[in-house]
Amino acid sequence: MQTNRSVYTRLQTPRQGTALFLLCWAAYAAAYVGRYNYSAVMSAMTAEGVLTLQVAGAISTGYFLCYALGQILSGLACQRISPYSMIFAGLTLSGLCNLGMGWAPPAAMAVLWSANGLFQAMIWPPIVRLFAECMPLPQQKGACININSTTPAGTLISYALCAVLLALTGWRMAFTTSALVLLVMAGVWVFATVPLRRATPATAAEPAEPAAAEPAAHRSKAGVLGPLLAAGLIWLAVPVILHGALKDGVTSWVPTIVQANFAVTPALSAAVSMVLPLVNLSGAYLAGWLDRLLRNELKTCAVLFAAASVALALLPLAVEWSLAAAMVLLAVTTAAMLGINTLFINVMPVRAGRTGGAAALSGMLNAVTYLGAAAATWGVGIAADTWGWSAVFALWLAMALISLAAVWCCAGRWARFANAQEEGSAS
């Protein structure tokens, strides 16, 4: 058992790096299947009277709150516990929670889905650590960008699976099938990662040279939080929270919005919502392209928040006009949020945490993101019930505009901070 923070040996060949990426990709895509299935079947559950809109939103809120807490705990735990073991445990326990959701009474669903959030949080921080410490450096940034294709892929699989099962059987079987996906992936992970675990042995930090070790420890801690605060980047918490509210808040409610405003069946609303993951992947790659052009992650975020603001401003008109136009604008919004999420959760932590602590920093930022998602899913249910969907659209627009202003104001400070961190890791 490790008593000090260990560092994994970096993989040496592109083939090994590709194998690590593909296994992490498959694990995280499977996790999305066991996450967005609830959003896909929520309209069916509310239509059947199993849940009200407010209760449905509260269950999502419980998930996101536990996911946020779990991100922090997992980000810290995976510094001392094998990330390979944590990912296996997360997939297995999430699968069991999904299995329970398929047959539990409504009163138990909030507990089960909250536990699912806690267990799913055991997957992402270990992936970040594996990318930061084990991925060959020439493949590292590409892996950070490309892993975001799990979001549209996993969401698409989840919505497609749920649309078919809603039409053929019902929402309970959608949870059961998602559980099977997670449990099979857990089995694949534990056996397929054996060669990688042998190639990446963990080595403990050398205690014999305290004078040399002190600056490294200091840099690791500072790389996580200290300089962010010292550089005046505390205001980044605002757009991180609000982009989480938009990314997961919008995605979670799209099937319900479609059913409520266009009078379609739950199965059709889930099928129509498959447009989002098909388009969302473009957001991650657009973010990567813009970041290479602008050379500043927060300026790139500003451009994407501006695009989302325009789409959300037009959304109330589109909802009155056509389903196709509304879906295009919702897709622009969620694609922009996925691009921003790529930068906040993947690129920025790895760039700032090369001397250690990338997983903890990513876990903290992801936790803040899901606090926003938790508030949004609960608040949207109340706002829709009380004031209607036009109030929800106005709230989303305000979030995007506030975030745009915040990232633009922090862009210069972030550039100075990131450059200083990279110079420190090179020295």
Residue 202 backbone dihedrals phi, psi, to 5 degrees: -85, 135
CA distances from residue 395 to 33, 273, 306 in whole angstroms, order as listed: 28, 21, 15
Task: Read off the CATH number of the domain in which 132 is found.
Answer: 1.20.1250.20
Query: Which pLDDT value is given to residue 230?
Result: 55
Q: How is residue 3 written in tokens?
A: 């008593």
Give 11's DSSP letter.
P
Exposed e or buried b per residue across 46-76, where buried means at least 16 C-beta atoms within 10 angstroms of its C-beta? beeebbebebbbbbbbbbbbbbbbbbbebbb
Distance CA 211, CA 298 (A): 36
Contact 360, 73 (CB under 8 A): no
pLDDT surpasses 80 at 34: yes
- Structural domain count, the chain: 1
In a domain, 210, yes or no: no
Point out the least confidently predicted range of 66-70, 114-118, 216-220, 247-251: 216-220
Query: Which pLDDT value is given to residue 1?
Result: 42
Q: What is the per-residue pLDDT across 217-271, written as a single tens digit (0 to 9) for each?
A: 344 444 445 555 655 567 888 999 999 889 877 877 888 888 888 877 777 777 7
In a domain, 215, yes or no: no
Helix (H) or strand (E) holding 7: strand 6-8
Query: Which pLDDT value is given to residue 54?
Result: 82
Query: Which pLDDT value is given to residue 49?
Result: 87
In a domain, 220, yes or no: no
Quote the crossing angle between the two packed helices 297-321 and 275-294, to the nearest 10°.
Answer: 150
In a domain, 209, yes or no: no
Beta bridge partners of 7: 203
Query: Which pLDDT value is given to residue 107?
Result: 85
Q: Could you give the count of Cα atoms lying within 13 Å of 277 in the half-sphere of its Cβ? A: 25
Exposed e or buried b per residue across 96-118, where buried means at least 16 C-beta atoms within 10 angstroms of its C-beta? bbbbbbbebeeeebbebbbbbbb
pLDDT surpasses 80 at 279: yes
SS3 state of residue 8: strand
In a domain, 221, yes or no: no
Can you give the length of the chain in residues? 427
Q: Give first-to-last CA distance, the chain, whole Å.
A: 32
Query: Which pLDDT value is given to residue 176?
Result: 96
Query: Which pLDDT value is given to residue 265?
Result: 78
In a domain, 80, yes or no: yes
In a domain, 315, yes or no: yes
The residue among 68 and 310 whose pLDDT is bigger is 310
* SS3 letters across 168-224: HCCHHHHHHHHHHHHHHHHHHHHHHCHHHHHHCCEEECCCCCHHHHHHHHHHHHHHH
Host domain of residue 408: 9-200+229-426
The residue among 96 and 208 whose pLDDT is bigger is 96
Distance CA 347, CA 274 (A): 27
Query: Which pLDDT value is given to residue 192?
Result: 96
In a domain, 90, yes or no: yes
CA distances from residue 160 to 165, 166, 346 in whole angstroms, order as listed: 9, 10, 27
Quote the crossing angle between the two packed helices 14-47 and 237-262, to the nearest 10°.
Answer: 50
